Amino acid sequence: MNELRRFVRDVPDFPTPGILFRDITPLLASPEAFASSIDAMAGPFREIPARKVVGIEARGFMFGAALARELGLGFVPARKAGKLPGRTERISYGLEYGSNVLEVHADAFSPGEPVLIVDDVLATGGTAAAAAELVERLGARVTGLTFCIELADLQGRSKLPGRRIHAVLVL
Q: For this structure, is 150 an active site residue?
A: no
Contacts for 150 with CB less than 8 Å, ≥ 6 apart:
121, 122, 156, 157, 165, 167, 169, 170, 171
Q: Give the domain extent around 145.
A: 2-170
Collapsing DSSP to helix, strand or coil, 112 comes out as coil
What's 120's domain CATH number?
3.40.50.2020
Q: Considering 90, 96, 157, 163, which one is annotated as catalytic?
A: 96
The answer to whether the CB of 121 falls within 8 A of the CB of 149 is yes
Contacts for 106 with CB less than 8 Å, ≥ 6 apart:
86, 87, 88, 89, 138
Of 101, 27, 92, give the one whose Cα is nearest residue 66: 27
Q: Give the chain's mean pLDDT.
A: 95
Give the mean pLDDT of 113-124: 96
What count of Cα atoms within 13 Å lies in the side-chain half-sphere of residue 54?
31
Please state the domain count of the chain. Answer: 1
The pLDDT tens digits for 16-65 are 898 899 999 999 999 999 999 999 999 999 999 999 999 999 999 999 99
Q: Is it the case that residue 103 has pLDDT exceeding 70?
A: yes
Q: Considering 59, 90, 157, 164, which one is annotated as catalytic?
A: 59
- What band does 94 get if pLDDT is binned at 50, 70 and 90? confident
Cα 21 from Cα 12, distance rounded (Å): 6
Q: For this structure, is 9 an active site residue?
A: no
Cα 132 from Cα 130, distance rounded (Å): 5
Share of the chain above pLDDT 90, in %: 92
The pLDDT tens digits for 56-92 are 999 999 999 999 999 999 999 999 999 999 999 999 9
